[in-house]
Structure formats: C-alpha cells, structure tokens
A and B are shown apart, each in its own frame.
Chain A
C-alpha cells in the first residue's frame, strides 16, 4: 500500500497498480481501504474519494498540524494513522461484502443509439447482438467522475470494446449510455464527450437537491434493462 502526497492538502493511497487484470478484486480492496480510513475518523481529514486503484484522502493541513502539534509532520502523521487504520481494520469483521445491485432501464432504439452502428462495425457483430451483450452483462461502478454522477462501469463484454470517437461531440444528451475502450458509462447531464452512444436511460443520475446527489456509488453493481420508447417516456415523467 503506497501513500503519496497529492499537492499539500491531499494524499493518494494506492491499493494496487493494475485494474484491468482483476477489476473485481481491485474494487473490493479499494472499497475496503476506503471504509477502514473512513471508520478511523482521522482528525483533519475532510473527505475521501475512491477511484479505480486508489483512495484519495483530502485533508486540512492546518488541522493536521494542530493535531500533530508540529508543522513538519503532516504527511508522516497522516500516513501513520492510515496504516493504523488498515491494521486495525484487518482484524475487524468485513462488512463490505454487501454491495447494492441497481437496475437501470435503457432504451436502445435507433433514435437514442447514435453510435450503435459504429460499435457494431468495430466489433463485427450485428447491432441487436451488441445490445444483447450490453444488456445481459453485470457491471460495477469503478469510480464516479468526469461530470458529477458519471459512473465508470467495468464489466463490459470484451467484444464491445470500442475506441473513442476521434472527434468528440460538442453536446451529448443527458442519460446517454455509452462505450469507450473497455468501459461503459452514463452521461448524467448534457455535456461534451467522445464516447460511443448506444442508448439512453430516463433515470436522473445526478440531482443536487438530493443527498447523496448521485444515483450510483462506487462499488455498486449495475444491470441494464432494455425498455421501449413508450416505457422511456413513461419513466421520464
């Protein structure tokens, strides 16, 4: 477990160096590390955020200095506390086995599936099969970023891996379900982007009036359910 400074007010805890070789195991380890640090409530730590192979620890250096009662020991003091969190956590009963499974309705009809043809051409399988492979797999949220609430999902069928568009779109509609590389994701709001769009969900993935504001959390399992255009309209309301 490598801990490195990320500027003067954050640290990165690197749980593994690789992700693609073992996505499931890596996600579990990252989430376990996250919970162990969270449970320790280290003075001066403001918030934590997991990504593929890392946990970012954001802190207020001034409060850490107060706690360590010296200025030159901020990183040492935090590093030590994080290591303590891991050794303590290791003996505790693991409660990170239960992850949520969230079903997301997606309309894959042509009107929404702007790049289905492209994905199908690159994969050399026909569009209906692309949709079948996409909607039958189970995914996991590796991290949330790019825009608020945007889930990066691992678990895409290997044959569906598709390069990003060489010229990104200036505006992708909210709810667009898309593929880039070995990942699939959902655009929570209208934004520019280079992913290949194969459908659209009527669900709102980010709502700042709610707490938590995002529908999905890192670690969640996700399944897509194909819906018709009528059902899309009904759910949208």
Chain B
C-alpha cells in the first residue's frame, strides 16, 4: 500500500483537482495545472476523477512499485518506460510488484500527470490533497518529492482490480483517449483567449501586437505562471500611481489561472494554478478554460500566439469537451466490466 520514489526528478508533487473555497483567505486553487489530464489518467486507472496523482515536471522520476497497480499518464511528450517497455500517454498499464516506472525528459512540453490506481493517500488539508509548494502545506509533507520518499497508496478500486486481471497478459491497454487530451503539448501553441477587464486600457498598437505577434516563454516559468518575452504591450492611459507612495498602479482585485496580466514593463505573464488570488497589474486577457492544458505545458523557448474567441464560444467548447468526456467515461466502463 505504498510506492517508493527511487528518483524524485526535477520537480514532482502530489496534486489533485485543487483547493476550492479558501480564496477569500488568499489560498491558491493549485492542483494539477492540467486538470483534464489528471481526470483522464484517473479514469484510465479506475480511480475517481478527483483522485490525487503525481505532477511530474521535466522528468527524471523513477518509481518502484511494491504491489500490483494500474497506472496511466497524460501530458507533454515524455518517454515513460516500464523496464524496457515504453508506456505511451493515455494507455493504462499494469505494473507488477517490484517493477520500476521511469519518466525521462520530455521532447515537447514540460509536465505530465500520473494516475496510480488506489490514489496517493496523503492527508486532506483544506479540502484537498494538493501540494501548495509556495506555502508548504498539503500533499506529501507540504513539499516536492525527494529521492527515497515513500508515498502511501490507497486500496485498488474494484475497477482497478478488474483491470489488473484483464491486463494480465497484454500489460498495456489498447484503448486510449483523444490525442489532444493525452498529449496537449505543442511547440508553437496558439492559446485562445477572451478579453480581460483592462483590454481597453491598452493602445491600438499593443492590441494589434498581442493578437498578431509571437511571444516566447522566458525561464521565469513555474506553477504560478509563465513570463513571456516579445513585443512590448503599452497602455493607452497613464496609470502611474497617483499617490507617490503607491507602487501598485491599479487597485488589486481577483486574478485566476489563465489570466494574462501585463506589468509596467509591458511583457505579459500567463498565470497558472498556483497564482496569487489577487493582483494589481492590468489584465489584458484570459486563456480560456479548455486551453489551460496547453498553457500548462509552456516551457522556456516555446513560441506562443494568442487568438481571440468569444466568451460564449469558450463556454460551448467547455460543454463540448465535457460531453466527449462523458462518452469516454462510458467507453472506459466497457473495458473494466
């Protein structure tokens, strides 16, 4: 009922779907930066979709199993191996006691999410098993995993046990989710956005640049957000603080994962799951919910473009994806019966 972390890799943490209900106290939502990837991985291994799994950043992870488990992962283009067998994204695989699962560096993207049947059974803190790395609580001891850690696992669900039996021969399932769910990373992604409240504060040139030009991801990219480089986005108005003592130029208000804010230097930042709950920089736009999985893969050097959609379209896309997910759920049920 545990798993050994032989090598923790660059940055691996326990994450579920995040921590809701505490933003009024300044607690970030956090959780898997690509919640769809974790939900799908969980479905594939017979877990509840909200179960806690591992978020793996840039690979280097080695896990040794002490009992039979079903695993599945989704995310960037990682090379995952079970001994000498390659485990492709989106395929459930049976891991026997004593076997080692390994994640090497990704070719495209930077993160992936691993679901393990029985889920990672760390204590629930403020309604979630997610690790809040910035504040050091939740998850496993409130921190990223280290070499030699042992994580507690829960009991395999009935569905997972069925999978252990059916996959006994072939080891790796042949069924898989749509490609863009299991492998959303792109080297030159176009992120769809809707306008932010401060859209009109930017001058025409800035708006044209934002919509037509390319931005590159800087090394300042983590779970809080990714700072971009590229054309400078100037504002139309002069928002230099009126009070000399104030360095914040707007009154702070809520920001969310996906918010694209523009600090005084004119270089945008795409906020991700561990972002602060409030911010004072102008919000030019928001990456739409269905494209957050792509944003979660941004890595230094990647080139990004932005494409506008309407809020209604954003909601339609979300509804469509949820319908597809419901169908996929039904399909999965057929395999675990």
A contacts, CB < 8 Å to B: 4-10, 12, 19-20, 46-54, 56, 58, 61-62, 65, 71-72, 74-75, 143-150, 152, 161-164, 180-182, 189, 206, 208-209, 211-214, 217-218
* Cβ contact within 8 Å between B289 and A208: no
* B36 nearest CB across to chain A (Å): 13
* Cβ contact within 8 Å between A189 and B256: no
Closest residue on chain B to residue A62 by CB atoms = B322
Closest residue on chain B to residue A214 by CB atoms = B25
Identify B316's interface contact among A72, A147, A149, A218, CB under 8 A. Answer: A72
Identify B20's interface contact among A47, A54, A149, A152, CB under 8 A. Answer: A47
14 intermolecular pairs with C-beta atoms under 8 Å apart = A7-B194, A7-B289, A8-B194, A49-B254, A54-B253, A65-B319, A72-B312, A145-B252, A145-B276, A148-B25, A181-B241, A208-B125, A213-B22, A213-B25
Identify B278's interface contact among A7, A145, A164, CB under 8 A. Answer: A145
* Cβ contact within 8 Å between A181 and B246: yes
Binds A, one of B108-116, B130-138, B145-153: B130-138
* B247 nearest CB across to chain A (Å): 5
* A172 nearest CB across to chain B (Å): 14
Closest residue on chain B to residue A150 by CB atoms = B26
* Cβ contact within 8 Å between A8 and B318: yes
Q: A49-B23, A51-B278, A71-B312 are in contact. Are A161 and B245 (CB under 8 A)?
A: yes
Identify B197's interface contact among A6, A50, A213, CB under 8 A. Answer: A6
Identify B277's interface contact among A49, A65, A162, CB under 8 A. Answer: A49
Number of interface residues of B (CB under 8 A): 51
Bound: A10/B259 CA distance, A: 11
Identify B256's interface contact among A6, A51, A145, A214, CB under 8 A. Answer: A6
A164 / chain B contacts, CB cutoff of 8 Å: 247
Bound: A79/B243 CA distance, A: 34
Is chain B's binding surface mostly helix, strand, loop or mixed? loop
* A34 nearest CB across to chain B (Å): 8
- B265 within 8 A of partner (CB): no
- B258 within 8 A of partner (CB): yes
- B211 within 8 A of partner (CB): no
Bound: A140/B142 CA distance, A: 31
Q: A51-B254, A181-B247 are in contact. Are A206 and B315 (CB under 8 A)?
A: no
Closest residue on chain B to residue A58 by CB atoms = B23
Identify A144's interface contact among B25, B256, B259, B287, CB under 8 A. Answer: B25
Identify A74's interface contact among B258, B278, B288, B315, CB under 8 A. Answer: B315
Closest residue on chain A to residue B22 by CB atoms = A213
* Cβ contact within 8 Å between B315 and A20: no
Bound: A9/B21 CA distance, A: 14
B286 / chain A contacts, CB cutoff of 8 Å: 6-8
* B285 nearest CB across to chain A (Å): 9
Closest residue on chain B to residue A55 by CB atoms = B254
Q: A51-B254, A62-B319, A181-B245 are in contact. Are A149 and B26 (CB under 8 A)?
A: yes
B contacts, CB < 8 Å to A: 20-28, 125-126, 132, 134-138, 194, 196-197, 241, 243-248, 251-256, 258-259, 276-278, 283, 286-289, 311-312, 314-316, 318-319, 322
Supplied contacts A6-B197, A10-B256, 18 more A-B pairs, CB within 8 Å: A9-B256, A12-B197, A46-B21, A47-B21, A47-B23, A49-B23, A51-B252, A61-B289, A74-B315, A143-B252, A147-B135, A148-B27, A181-B243, A181-B246, A206-B25, A211-B126, A212-B22, A212-B25
Bound: A213/B25 CA distance, A: 7
B21 / chain A contacts, CB cutoff of 8 Å: 46-47
A51 / chain B contacts, CB cutoff of 8 Å: 251-254, 278
Bound: A184/B14 CA distance, A: 35
Bound: A51/B288 CA distance, A: 23
* B32 nearest CB across to chain A (Å): 16
Bound: A46/B318 CA distance, A: 17
Bound: A7/B248 CA distance, A: 22
* A55 nearest CB across to chain B (Å): 9
A144 / chain B contacts, CB cutoff of 8 Å: 24-26
* Cβ contact within 8 Å between A54 and B254: yes
* Cβ contact within 8 Å between B138 and A208: yes
Bound: A7/B25 CA distance, A: 21
* A173 nearest CB across to chain B (Å): 15
* Cβ contact within 8 Å between A20 and B137: no
Bound: A181/B241 CA distance, A: 10
Identify A52's interface contact among B135, B252, B322, CB under 8 A. Answer: B252
B312 / chain A contacts, CB cutoff of 8 Å: 71-72
Bound: A149/B314 CA distance, A: 33
* Cβ contact within 8 Å between A12 and B254: yes
* Cβ contact within 8 Å between A6 and B135: no
Closest residue on chain A to residue B290 by CB atoms = A8
Bound: A9/B278 CA distance, A: 16
A146 / chain B contacts, CB cutoff of 8 Å: 26, 276, 278
* Cβ contact within 8 Å between A163 and B247: yes
Bound: A56/B254 CA distance, A: 6
